[in-house]
């Protein structure tokens, strides 16, 4: 009985394909791949990197690189799923690093048919230094391919699974070492997408934290205080303050986008369609007079 269970566990690990989406991840990707030497095949969907990421990926014989233009995160992940032939998928960001404990745990998995996925906690690092806590929630990283599909939620994607998801004991290290300017550029795009999602989603479908974000200006203040005092980043020295300011900046950008869009929608509602048409007509007449 025990020997059969061990054989089944090893077979499960051998049926896992790590899946990574990349775009200009040269500062991170080597650490991610360094913990995947046990994988027989690694699928990487690259969105057009220009910083040497693809050249780094091609140094690893088990990595298969497929380049595809980026539309949105969910579309990219669903495309990636179609490239996987194994029953199990290990979904990783390009700035993730598996802990040794988590790798050992993969070797002991023997899931029943009712289990469709596993989630793991993320330990956040700032320039190699671990934080006591972060706002990063546990993420479903390992799942059965046939049970999975991705949907877009704001600026990010969420895997949808029909079945039981169990927690793993091991952790993932999140350690993004890309330049700050790159982070700021990305956050501007994320803020636009997140604001659209929050404003266009029915209130009943939003989580409690999303409803708080919709309030606009209180969210950045709440995130700053929560990160420092509840998550304990106040006691992590300058990396803790760096992280708190980083998350507060991201929330400020979202709050500004929400407030700006709410103001524009309210102004458009006060004008009404008839007034908008007459205003446009007046502008056209005035333009013709000047001609």
The continuous run of DSSP H or E covering 276 comes out as helix 237-290
Boundary-marking domain end, from 158, 174, 190: 174
- Over the Cα atoms of the chain, what is R_g? 23
Domain extent, residue 189, equals: 180-267
Same domain as 137, residue 14 = yes
Same domain as 208, residue 164 = no
Whether residue 122 contacts residue 138, with contact meaning beta carbons closer than 8 Å, is answered with yes
Same domain as 217, residue 95 = no
Boundary-marking domain end, from 120, 141, 174: 174
How many domains does one find in the chain? Answer: 2
Same domain as 206, residue 143 = no
pLDDT reading at 288 higher than 80: no
Q: For residue 158, give Cα distances in angstroms to 72, 77, 78, 155, 200.
A: 12, 10, 11, 10, 17
Assess if residue 274 is contained within a domain.
no
- Provide the pLDDT for residue 268: 85
| Token code pair at residue 177 | 């070492």
Q: How confident is the model at residue 4 (pLDDT cuts 50, 70, 90)?
A: very low
Single pTM value for the model:
0.84
pLDDT reading at 96 higher than 70: yes
Assess if residue 290 is contained within a domain.
no
Assess if residue 30 is contained within a domain.
yes
**Which residues, 6+ apart, have CB-to-CB distance to 20 below 8 Å?**
29, 32, 42, 43, 44, 45, 92, 93, 94
- Provide the pLDDT for residue 101: 96
**What is the average pLDDT across 181-206?**
93
Q: What percent of the chain has pLDDT over 90?
A: 79
Same domain as 205, residue 149 = no
Phi then psi for 248, rounded to 5 degrees?
A: -65, -40
**Length of the chain measured in residues:** 291
- Provide the pLDDT for residue 41: 97
pLDDT reading at 277 higher than 70: no
Q: Which of 228, 252, 250 is nearest to 240 (CA)?
A: 228
Same domain as 205, residue 235 = yes
Residue showing tokens 């059965």: 144
**What is the average pLDDT across 110-138?**
94
């Amino acid at each position: 009985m025990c020997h059969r269970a061990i054989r089944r566990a090893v077979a499960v690990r051998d049926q896992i394909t790590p899946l990574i989406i990349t775009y200009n991840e040269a500062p991170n990707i080597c650490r991610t791949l360094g913990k995947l030497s046990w994988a027989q095949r690694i699928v990487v969907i690259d969105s057009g990197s220009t910083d040497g990421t693809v050249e780094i990926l091609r140094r690893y014989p088990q990595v298969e690189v497929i380049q595809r233009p980026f539309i949105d995160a969910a579309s990219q992940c669903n495309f990636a799923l179609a490239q996987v032939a194994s029953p199990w998928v290990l979904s990783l960001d390009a700035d993730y690093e598996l802990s040794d404990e988590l790798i050992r745990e993969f070797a002991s998995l023997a899931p029943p048919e009712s289990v469709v996925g596993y989630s793991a906690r993320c330990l956040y690092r700032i320039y190699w230094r671990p934080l006591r806590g972060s706002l990063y929630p546990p993420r479903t990283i390992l799942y059965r391919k046939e049970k999975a599909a991705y949907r877009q939620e704001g600026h990010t994607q969420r895997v949808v699974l029909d079945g039981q998801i169990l927690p793993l004991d091991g952790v993932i290290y999140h350690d993004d070492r890309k330049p700050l300017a790159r982070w700021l550029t990305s956050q501007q795009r994320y803020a636009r997408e997140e604001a659209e999602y929050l404003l266009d989603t029915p209130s009943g479908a939003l989580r409690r934290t999303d409803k708080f974000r919709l309030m606009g200006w209180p969210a950045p203040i709440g995130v700053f205080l929560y990160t420092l005092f509840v998550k304990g980043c106040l006691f992590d020295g300058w990396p803790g303050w760096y992280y708190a300011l980083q998350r507060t900046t991201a929330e400020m950008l979202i709050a500004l986008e929400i407030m700006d869009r709410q103001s524009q929608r309210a102004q458009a509602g006060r004008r009404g369609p008839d007034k908008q048409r007459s205003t446009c007509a007046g502008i056209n007449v005035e333009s013709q007079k000047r001609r």
